[in-house]
Amino acid sequence: MGNTDSAQATAVSDAKSVLRKDGKLKSKFYTKELARLQEELIKLQYWVQEKGLRVVILFEGRDAAGKGGVIKRITEQMNPRIARIVALGTPSDREKTKWWFQRYVAQLPAAGEIVLFDRSWYNRALVERVMGFCTDEQYREFLRSCPQFERMLVRSGIIVLKYWFSVSDEEQERRFQSRLTNPVKRWKLSPMDVESRNRWVEYSRAKDVMFDHTDIKQSPWFVVPSDDKKRARLNCISHILNSIEYEDITPEKIELPPRQKESGYIRPPMNEQTFVPDLYPTPKAD
């Protein structure tokens, strides 16, 4: 199994070298540790592919809790054909008539795949419940069915990990304000996100009920405090690596064969091709 604990032990024993005065992680340490963990994720990727494992990782939490950030850091160095992100939109009228879990089942991994759900079937216990998009009976049926559904997944051999990103009211508000003022981030703030601000207590109650019914032995919930985004990312990735047994089977470095000689090949004239305009300064030759 990959050893993700050694650097953490170093961080604990030498806090001054990794923590800023405000208690957050120094950028240099974070960047180095993230790179180390991402290298371990590549080892995990090779192991999952070689052994034909099926891995499902669910990311849930309030709006602006940091789910997307950790998913991005997990997958940015991985093969997208192996580590696949699922972020389903609003169900169509036809999908609304299906069994609730049906469209999520279609996204489950085949052998050698890792699927990361950016929100999942738990939408019924959270958004749909709080916003009134489902009936009371549909909600109660979900709470009854979900534990059995996940036990079925586990019995079938699928590895299921569930993470709840916990953000404080104050930090969520700060992130919402940042999205309002930053045009690059404004798309992240949907009308549904805005409405959720008015229903903070209702979301809290829905989350508590959800945990009561679905925090089961076969697929427990793992809570990630996420007011500090960098710490949350490292903690979550470390936990994933420590939750799945794997070995380092990274292929050995290969030697590239000599490139094929042109052997009479003549490249078409450059002026017969259409190039993207070069809008930026080009270095001048000495």
pLDDT digits (tens, 9 = 90+) for 91-101: 999 999 999 99
* 34 band by pLDDT with thresholds 50, 70 and 90: very high
Instruction: Give the full edge-to-edge strand order of the sheet including 54-61.
Output: 83-86, 113-118, 54-61, 159-166, 221-225
Query: Which one has a higher pLDDT value, 132 or 2?
Result: 132
- As given in the structure block, the two tokens for residue 183 are 């045009």
Which residues are registered as beta bridge partners of 60? 164
Q: What is the model's pLDDT at position 14?
A: 67
Of 195, 105, 203, which Cα lies nearest the Cα of 156? 105
DSSP structure class, residue 82: T
Q: What is the model's pLDDT at position 284?
A: 80
Query: Which one has a higher pLDDT value, 277 or 180?
Result: 277
Query: Which one has a higher pLDDT value, 179 or 119?
Result: 119
| Mean pLDDT, range 218-236, rounded to an integer | 97
Task: Look up residue 31 and give its amino acid.
Answer: T
**Average pLDDT of the chain, as a whole number:** 91
Query: Which one has a higher pLDDT value, 239 or 192?
Result: 239
What is the CATH topology of the domain spanning 53-89+113-231?
A: Rossmann fold (3.40.50)
- Predicted TM-score (pTM) of this structure: 0.89
Query: Which one has a higher pLDDT value, 200 or 34?
Result: 34
Of 147, 78, 143, which Cα lies nearest the Cα of 116? 78
Three-class SS state of 276: coil
State yes or no: pLDDT of 250 exceeds 70. Answer: yes
Q: How far apart are CA 225 and CA 241, in angstroms?
A: 18
State yes or no: pLDDT of 255 exceeds 70. Answer: yes
Handedness of CA 92, 96, 98, 102 (dihedral sign): positive
* 261 band by pLDDT with thresholds 50, 70 and 90: confident
Q: What is the model's pLDDT at position 39?
A: 98
Q: What percent of the chain has pLDDT over 70?
A: 95
* 286 band by pLDDT with thresholds 50, 70 and 90: low
List the end-to-end C-alpha distance of the chain, in Å, as a whole number: 53
3-state per-residue secondary structure call for 49-76: HHHCCEEEEEEEECCCCCHHHHHHHHHC
State yes or no: pLDDT of 10 exceeds 60. Answer: no
* 105 band by pLDDT with thresholds 50, 70 and 90: very high
Q: What is the model's pLDDT at position 2?
A: 53
State yes or no: pLDDT of 12 exceeds 60. Answer: no
pLDDT tens by residue, 113-158: 999 999 999 999 999 999 999 999 999 999 999 999 999 999 999 9
| Mean pLDDT, range 236-248, rounded to an integer | 98
